[in-house]
Chains A and B, each alone.
Chain A
Amino acid sequence: MTQWALVALIVAGTVAGDTLQSLEMKRHGEIHFRSGGLGRLAAKLALKKYLILAIACMAISFFAFMTLVSQADLSFAVPATAASFVFDTVLARWVLRERVDVKRWMGAALVAGGVALLAL
């Protein structure tokens, strides 16, 4: 597989994982840490299907990252996978319906520009 195809797989896994995780955690509501609450929380979260799917996506992303660093430079692999910021922002706007302000779009655009420079 070419290096950019691996980057695409890593980014897709990360973005799908992040979005599903955020979706499930927002549905759960803010976590309050009480004594003994953590165990109950872990048990409750283990039953959520979006969260299980999110973890599977992150695992795929991690194995693809292992493959990428077996053949590409680390100084390429880490910044290239930062492209996930850009797609995370787009999905945050359209799937999670977060209000993304100008500064955040500018941040995502800067990251996109940075990743594009890596392709040179």
Chain B
Amino acid sequence: MRTDERLIWKTRLFLALVIVSQPLGNLFLTIGMKHRALGSPWDYVAAIFSPYVALGIALLIVWLLSRMALLSWADLSYVLPLTAIGYIITAIIGSVVLKEQISLARWSGTLLIVAGTALVGLTDPRTSAEERARVRASGDRA
């Protein structure tokens, strides 16, 4: 396989991991935490080691690591708008799996947040003057 082709597939794989692992992690965390009595710090420790919460946390660790890996070679401005899809997946999971009632206001709010996140992704990732000068200088050397 050619290197650029490999990079494209690697990016797609990690993007899918990043997009899917966070909503799924939050889903299992919610199932495990639902209606749990939380009086003392020990209740949190017990919760962390319960199967659903542990699975949720494991998926969130996968999310964190795959996002860090993806950001090491892909631009934040490419990653941010695409991972904003996670908000929509979370709403669908809430509605379908957790049977939550999602009002029109909540759907509109969620879509506005997706739009806002995507918009931030369209901006230059480095904005301070020194950073830009530094990047330009290293570009001149190359």
Contact = CB atoms under 8 A, between A and B. Distances in A.
Give the interface SS of chain B, mostly helix, strand, loop or mixed.
Answer: helix
A76 B105 CA distance: 11
A100 interface: yes
A99 B116 contact: no
Given A82-B113, A99-B128, A101-B127, A74 B94 contact: yes
B141 interface: no
Given A66-B33, A111-B117, A75 B127 contact: no
A98 B129 CA distance: 9
Interface in A35-80: 63, 65-67, 69-71, 73-79
A34 interface: no
A110 B95 contact: no
Interface residues of B, number: 45
Contacts of B36: 70
Contacts of B101: 73
Instruction: For the complex of A and B, list the 4 residue pairs with the smallest distance between their C-beta atoms, beginning with the closest.
Output: A110-B116, A75-B94, A114-B112, A117-B109
Interface of B: 23, 26-27, 29-30, 33-36, 38, 44, 47, 53, 72, 87, 90-91, 93-95, 98, 100-103, 105-106, 108-113, 115-120, 122-124, 127-129
Interface of A: 33, 63, 65-67, 69-71, 73-79, 82, 85, 89, 97-101, 103-104, 106-118, 120
